[in-house]
């Protein structure tokens, strides 16, 4: 019987080694370990053995069984690993093929830059204010120190609804509306559409966007104006940006300035991008004119402030190297898709 | 304003400063330089030549061969077709490998077999006109009559080497529209003295009052009127130095009297007018308002209809000039002019501005007057003109000046508060420095009293004084600090809502667009708005650029349709777009319209249908937490397909409309495919929004699901059935999902089969079959009430 058991073990091992798949393995298991298996059959003959032989053969039989089971398990693991490798090999993809993409929405490029400006200014403590586009002449001009016969009105070709109502030519009237409603401290930006009767071409549009800013509080100085806008420019264009403040004129600020940033392309040497000037004009700004504060019921002896305004389209055009402003309002999907 | 650097040097000598440094410094002190141009800058190898001989060409009877001395050792041979050249003439010679002012390059070549080593130039070839060199002829070689030598560079030989600087002058500084005004700024910028000059007029006796009288009727609009008379006028060309300065400033030289008026205008910033006394009927000038129906033919030959608010210069009979704008046709200087009246006046800026605008003729003179000129400048300017008349020998100045001054000028006096100024600027500028800047700028400084010069009408407040100080202290020397106070910026609730709407649209693959708020009234026809629809009443622009942009839209859908049409016609396959845009709704009794923000959606493409659009809206409403809204079929909106349009409302309040666009509307927009559009009122959405979300625990007990297939009238809305199911099932209903609608061969005409998947669940127990069965019975009963039968 001992020889029989050893023969079974040897045969089982041989068959396991030859097994090609899980089915073969299972056949081996049934053949030797199953209820009608060879090993089981041997064990059934145990009764015929003597009392001395029985424990010895019993132990041997259990050993053989354990070894077959162990080898079976091992073979199964190996075979499974091999089969998995085989399957994976057949499943190889050309990973350079394009991905399946869901359709992504796209923000209008003007919105992208405007959102960035909002984020910068909110981070600096500004709220975002709004005002009407169809606006009273009073808010658009008179309260801003631009009376009816002021020559500055000529530089802003105005669309009129009637003698008292215009399409706002600037976002500055929002300043007035905010100051009338809210007592200082005030810290707002006011983005919006503005209208001027310029015929549409590559660099002009009768409708465009401005972003206005206003800070009013006690002891606000021109140094604060400079500091605030310098931080803004550095956040927008990077820490290495160089700015300069150049005297200018706006009826509603005094002193007034334009903020230029040194040309990113030529670093002040003068190139095509900056039209040879070395500097690019970004925005207009100044200390709120005391008369404007007075017009809003704010005492200029107690409070002071600064204001600034910039054209959004120009900023966006520079950001993306867009050379034709009309593209913004044509809204061709092939254009919008690029941002 | 174009400034001749040569002219500037008459007033300030800034020494050897490069143009780049000059323009940088001027820009930084407030006179922005736009650019500069040096005459003949690109010209190369063009020199003065002296003709030594003129010989006939052996093979041509219209060409001649010239030998020229250009101070290069051997004479240079040039062949020319011009007939006005003689030995001894000085001419401009473009040598071999030269470049002319117009960019043309000249090289040597053979003309009829004879070598020509360059070209002799005419005025035109040098970009000049007879006005620049009156002695030269237009058709022929420019024979130079200037003191110059052969070989000399042409630019210096004929004085075409001035540099002209273009300044952007802001409207508050009309004084800087002059050489003297800019010279004042230059002097302070570079800290150099300014050489101002008081004009001296000798006079020739006589008395102006024997020639002329002046009556100013409108004292408000004519603040000052100064006149002088010049007799024995000799019209002729003005001298080279004057022509050069005019040319560099962009003004064409004409004759001595006209040139003097232009010269003084550029130098003093005061428009001058010279006219022939012959045409002053009654020898009396009357400054008055135009009469009703009065007309005047201006210098440009156009007959102008004047109105009573316009100021004119008239004689005893009729108007001869529109004050401050343009002279009349028959008042100007001509060959036969003998006695001239010089006028130096100051008219009220606003009146000139309105007049010029009404007449549609903005002139050099009107654009200066409208900025508000200094009445104190009239007298020095006319003296300068008369001085130049004498200097040029252009006539004899009659003694006496007529000067009617209604300006009531009193200098503005301000108080210098150094401490306030420093506090305002955030600086620490010593008071003495402030005073120095102001006095350099010709302000009177008397202790802390600041007397503003007459030409600085823009300075009327201590903030203006602060600007003057800041400009010359240097804006970039002011420190940079951050504003005090604790900053707390945030988006408003509405702005956050708007951001959510944007994000939800983007997440669903829509592209954001921006459209014009003004449209053509024809857009209402294109969307088939009925003729009597109140929405046709729009805010109308009085002075639109064109009909296309003449009214403020009361409906933003046409703007979307325009963009869809552009995309469709640009062959963009499928697009989905949105815009948050205003509609402008006039309000009775209010000056300003309501500006109502709307979310406008638009899409087309093979993969799109009504439910694609509706799905976008449903997702948005879900994100906004707007539930239990009503969707009602709308068949009478002419913009939309009568069977594919829905109105969205909640609690009876409409907040949107969506649908397939009516084929006729598509046709109006040249779109040959199905288009889906809609809009939602942002204000209403914001009011309905419920962004308070509460967590509901995952279910612990299993759900029971039942499918329900029903047969009903085709017209029965699915939403009505869904609501009835919800009502009937009560609390245990978790969700109802439509999974099939079928119409077709197995179904009777006018009916449809509708299948729902119904999920029921209780939070605290497993539902029993009895509970589910009872709920299903209630549902079936409710369905029967709607006329829907269970489908066997």
With cut-offs at 50, 70 and 90, classify the pLDDT of residue A269. confident
Q: What is the pLDDT of residues B757-778, one digit of tens each?
A: 999 999 899 999 999 999 999 9
B587 in contact with A, Cβ within 8 Å = no
Question: Residue A167: CB partners within 8 Å, gap ≥ 6?
Answer: A133, A134, A135, A158, A159, A161, A194, A195, B518, B541, B552
A90 in contact with B, Cβ within 8 Å = no
Q: 465-494 in B: which are within 8 Å (CB) of A?
A: 466-467, 470-471, 475-476, 478-492
Residues of B within 8 A of A123 (CB-CB) are 489
| Percent of chain B whose pLDDT exceeds 90 | 86
Does any domain span residue B699?
A: no
A149 in contact with B, Cβ within 8 Å = yes
Residues in chain A: 339
Mean pLDDT for A175-201 is 94
Domain identity same for B56 and B141? yes
B149: region left, alpha or beta (phi > 0 left; psi from -120 to 50 alpha): beta
Q: 401-440 in B: which are within 8 Å (CB) of A?
A: 423-427
Domain count, chain B: 6
Domain identity same for B534 and B671? yes
Q: Contact at 8 Å (CB) between B263 and B246?
A: yes
Query: How many interchain CB pairs under 8 A, A with B?
Result: 241
Neighbouring CB atoms inside 10 A of A309's CB total 23
Rounded to an integer, what distance in angstroms lies between the CA atom of residue B477 and that of residue A161? Answer: 45
Q: Contact at 8 Å (CB) between B559 and B518?
A: no
Rounded to an integer, what distance in angstroms lies between the CA atom of residue B782 and that of residue A151? Answer: 75
**Per-residue confidence (pLDDT) for residue A2, from 0 to 100:** 79
Q: Contact at 8 Å (CB) between A130 and A192?
A: yes
Does any domain span residue B650?
A: yes
The domain that holds B716 is classified in CATH as 3.30.70.380
Q: Edge-to-edge, what's the strand order for the sheet holding B511-512?
A: B511-512, B575-585, B594-604, B675-681, B653-661, B640-650, B630-633
* pLDDT(B395) > 80: yes
Structure tokens at A312: 């959004």
Q: What is the pLDDT of residues B10-44, one digit of tens each?
A: 999 999 999 999 999 999 999 999 999 999 998 99
Residues of B within 8 A of A246 (CB-CB) are 27-28, 30, 32, 475
Domain identity same for B498 and B584? yes
Q: Which among A206, A217, A255 is the nearest to B549, CB-wise? A: A206
A193 in contact with B, Cβ within 8 Å = yes
Question: Residue B166: CB partners within 8 Å, gap ≥ 6?
Answer: B1, B2, B3, B33, B34, B35, B36, B37
Rounded to an integer, what distance in angstroms lies between the CA atom of residue B323 and that of residue B365? Answer: 10
Q: What is the pLDDT of residues B250-295, one digit of tens each?
A: 898 989 999 999 999 999 999 999 999 988 999 999 999 999 999 9
Domain identity same for B56 and B183? no
**Per-residue confidence (pLDDT) for residue B25, from 0 to 100:** 96
Q: What is the pLDDT of residues B410-425, one digit of tens each?
A: 999 999 999 999 999 9
* pLDDT(B702) > 70: yes
Domain identity same for B588 and B676? yes
Does any domain span residue B202?
A: no
CA closest to B496 among chain A residues: A128
* pLDDT(A112) > 80: yes
- Residue B540, judged by CB atoms within 10 A of its CB (0-12, 13-18, 19+), counts as middle
Q: What is the pLDDT of residues B55-76, one digit of tens each?
A: 999 988 889 999 999 998 899 9
Report which of residues A268 and B473 the model is more confident about. Answer: B473
The domain that holds B108 is classified in CATH as 2.40.50.140
Place of tokens 């130039």: B121
Phi, psi of A61 (to 5 degrees): -60, -45
Rounded to an integer, what distance in angstroms lies between the CA atom of residue B28 and that of residue A246? Answer: 5
Q: Which among A151, A193, A333 is the nearest to B517, CB-wise? A: A193
A289 in contact with B, Cβ within 8 Å = yes
Residues of A within 8 A of B425 (CB-CB) are 221-223, 255
Rounded to an integer, what distance in angstroms lies between the CA atom of residue B280 and that of residue A119? Answer: 68
Angle, helices B179-189 vs B256-268, to 10°: value is 40
* pLDDT(A176) > 90: yes
Residues of A within 8 A of B372 (CB-CB) are 151
Q: Distance between the two ends of chain A, CA-based, in angstroms?
A: 84
Rounded to an integer, what distance in angstroms lies between the CA atom of residue B607 and that of residue B571? Answer: 16
Does any domain span residue B299?
A: yes
Rounded to an integer, what distance in angstroms lies between the CA atom of residue B618 and that of residue B504? Answer: 11
Does any domain span residue B695?
A: no
Q: What range does the domain containing B19 cover?
A: 2-39+163-189
Q: What angle do CA B610, B616, B619 make, to 5 degrees?
A: 135
What residue ranges do the domains of chain A occupy?
A: 2-90, 109-336
To the nearest whole Å, the CA of A120 is away from the closest chain B CA by: 10
Q: Which CATH class is domain A109-336?
A: alpha beta
Kindly provide the ipTM of the predicted complex, given to two decimals: 0.87
Rounded to an integer, what distance in angstroms lies between the CA atom of residue B376 and that of residue B497? Answer: 60
Domain identity same for B538 and B641? yes
């Amino acid at each position: 019987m001992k020889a029989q058991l050893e023969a079974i073990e040897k045969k089982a091992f041989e068959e396991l080694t030859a097994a090609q798949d899980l089915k073969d393995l299972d056949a081996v298991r049934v053949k030797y370990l199953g209820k009608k298996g060879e090993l089981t059959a041997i064990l059934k003959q145990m009764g015929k053995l003597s009392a001395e032989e029985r424990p010895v053969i019993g132990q041997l039989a259990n050993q053989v069984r354990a070894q077959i089971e162990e080898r079976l398990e091992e073979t199964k693991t190996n075979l499974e690993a091999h089969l998995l490798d085989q399957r994976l090999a057949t499943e190889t993809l050309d990973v350079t093929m394009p991905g399946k993409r869901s359709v992504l929405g796209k923000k209008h490029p003007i919105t992208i830059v405007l959102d960035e400006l909002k984020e910068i200014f909110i981070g600096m403590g500004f709220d975002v204010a709004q005002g009407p586009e169809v606006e009273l002449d009073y808010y658009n001009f008179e309260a801003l120190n631009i009376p009816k016969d002021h020559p500055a009105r000529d530089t802003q070709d105005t669309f009129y609804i009637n003698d008292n109502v215009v399409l706002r030519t600037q976002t500055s009237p929002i300043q007035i509306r905010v100051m009338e409603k809210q007592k200082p401290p005030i810290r707002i930006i006011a983005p919006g559409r503005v209208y001027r009767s310029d015929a549409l071409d590559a660099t002009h549009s009768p409708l465009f966007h401005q972003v206005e800013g206003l800070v009013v509080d006690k002891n606000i100085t021109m140094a604060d104006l400079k500091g605030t806008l310098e931080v803004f420019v550095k956040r927008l264009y990077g820490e290495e940006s160089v700015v300069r403040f150049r005297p200018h004129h706006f009826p509603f600020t005094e002193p007034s300035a334009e903020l230029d940033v040194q040309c990113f392309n030529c670093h002040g040497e003068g190139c095509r991008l900056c039209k040879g000037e070395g500097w690019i004009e970004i925005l207009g700004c100044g200390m709120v004119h005391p008369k404007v504060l007075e017009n809003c019921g704010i005492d200029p002896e107690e409070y002071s402030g600064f204001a600034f305004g910039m054209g959004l389209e120009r900023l966006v055009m520079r950001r993306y190297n867009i050379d034709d402003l009309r593209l913004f309002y044509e809204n061709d999907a092939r254009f919008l898709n690029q941002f | 304003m174009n400034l001749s650097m040569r002219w500037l040097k008459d007033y300030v000598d800034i020494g050897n400063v490069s143009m780049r440094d000059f323009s940088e410094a001027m820009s930084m002190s407030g006179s922005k330089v736009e650019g500069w141009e040096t005459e003949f800058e690109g010209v190369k190898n063009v020199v003065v030549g002296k003709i030594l001989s003129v010989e006939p060409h052996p093979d041509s009877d219209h060409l001649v061969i010239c030998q020229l001395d250009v101070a290069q050792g051997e004479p240079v041979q040039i062949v020319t077709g011009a007939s006005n050249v003689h030995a001894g003439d000085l001419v401009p010679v473009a040598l071999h490998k030269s470049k002319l002012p117009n960019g043309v390059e000249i090289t040597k070549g053979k003309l009829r077999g004879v070598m020509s080593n360059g070209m002799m130039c005419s005025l035109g070839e040098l970009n000049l006109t007879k006005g620049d060199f009156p002695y030269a002829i237009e058709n022929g070689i420019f024979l130079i009559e200037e003191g110059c030598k052969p070989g000399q560079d042409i630019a210096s030989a004929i004085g075409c080497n001035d540099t002209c600087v273009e300044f952007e002058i802001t409207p508050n500084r009309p004084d800087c529209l002059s050489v003297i005004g800019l010279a004042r700024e230059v002097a302070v910028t570079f800290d150099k003295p300014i050489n101002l000059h008081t004009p001296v007029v000798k006079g020739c006796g006589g008395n102006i009052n024997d020639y002329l009288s002046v009556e100013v009727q409108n004292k408000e609009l004519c603040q000052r009127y100064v006149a002088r008379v010049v007799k024995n006028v000799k019209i002729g060309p003005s001298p080279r130095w004057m022509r050069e300065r005019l040319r560099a400033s962009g003004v064409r030289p004409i004759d001595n009297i006209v040139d003097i008026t232009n010269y003084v205008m550029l130098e003093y910033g005061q428009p001058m007018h010279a006219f022939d006394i012959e045409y002053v009927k009654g020898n009396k000038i009357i400054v008055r308002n135009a009469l009703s129906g009065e007309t005047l033919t201006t210098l440009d030959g156009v007959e102008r209809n004047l109105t009573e608010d316009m100021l004119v210069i008239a004689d005893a009979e009729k108007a001869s000039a529109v004050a401050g704008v343009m002279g009349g046709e028959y008042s100007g200087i001509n060959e036969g002019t003998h006695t001239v009246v010089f006028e130096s006046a100051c008219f009220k800026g606003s009146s000139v501005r309105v007049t010029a605008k009404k007449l549609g003729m903005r002139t050099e003179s009107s654009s200066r007057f409208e900025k508000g000129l200094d009445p104190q400048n009239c007298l020095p300017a006319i003296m300068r003109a008369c001085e130049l008349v004498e200097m040029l020998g252009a006539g004899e100045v009659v003694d006496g000046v007529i000067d009617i001054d209604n300006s009531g000028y009193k200098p503005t006096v301000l108080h210098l508060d150094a401490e306030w100024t420093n506090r305002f600027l955030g600086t620490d500028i010593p008071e003495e420095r402030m005073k120095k800047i102001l006095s350099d700028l010709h302000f009177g400084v008397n202790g802390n009293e600041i007397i503003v010069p007459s030409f600085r009408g823009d300075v009327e407040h201590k903030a203006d004084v602060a600007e003057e100080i800041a400009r010359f202290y240097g804006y970039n020397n002011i420190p940079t600090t951050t504003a005090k106070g604790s900053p707390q910026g945030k988006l408003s609730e509405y702005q956050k809502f708007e951001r959510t709407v944007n994000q939800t649209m983007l997440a669903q693959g829509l592209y954001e667009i921006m459209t014009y708020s003004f449209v053509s009234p024809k857009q209402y026809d294109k969307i088939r708005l009925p003729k009597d629809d109140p929405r046709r009443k729009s805010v109308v622009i009085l002075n639109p650029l064109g009909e296309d942009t003449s009214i403020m839209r009361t409906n933003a859908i046409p703007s979307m349709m325009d963009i869809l049409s552009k995309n469709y016609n640009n062959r963009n396959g499928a697009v989905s777009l949105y815009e948050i845009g205003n509609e402008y709704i006039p309000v009775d009794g209010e000056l300003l319209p309501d500006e109502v923000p709307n979310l406008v959606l638009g899409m087309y493409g093979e993969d799109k249908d009504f439910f694609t659009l509706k799905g976008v809206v449903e997702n948005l409403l879900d994100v906004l937490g707007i539930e239990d809204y009503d969707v009602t079929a709308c068949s009478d909106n002419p913009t939309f397909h009568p069977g594919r349009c829905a109105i969205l409302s909640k609690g009876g309040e409409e907040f949107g409309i969506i649908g397939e666009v009516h084929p006729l509307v598509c046709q109006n927009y040249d779109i040959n495919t199905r288009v889906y559009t809609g809009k939602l009122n942002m204000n209403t959405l914001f009011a309905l929004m419920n962004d308070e979300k509460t967590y509901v625990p995952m279910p612990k007990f299993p759900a029971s699901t039942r499918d329900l297939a029903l047969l009903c009238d085709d017209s029965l809305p699915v939403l009505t059935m869904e609501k009835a199911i919800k009502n009937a099932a009560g609390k245990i209903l978790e969700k109802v999902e439509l999974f099939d609608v079928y119409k077709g061969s197995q179904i009777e005409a006018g009916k449809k089969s509708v299948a729902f998947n119904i999920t029921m669940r209780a939070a605290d127990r497993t539902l029993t079959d009895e509970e589910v069965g009872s709920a299903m019975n209630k549902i079936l009963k409710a369905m029967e009430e709607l006329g829907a039968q269970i489908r066997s």
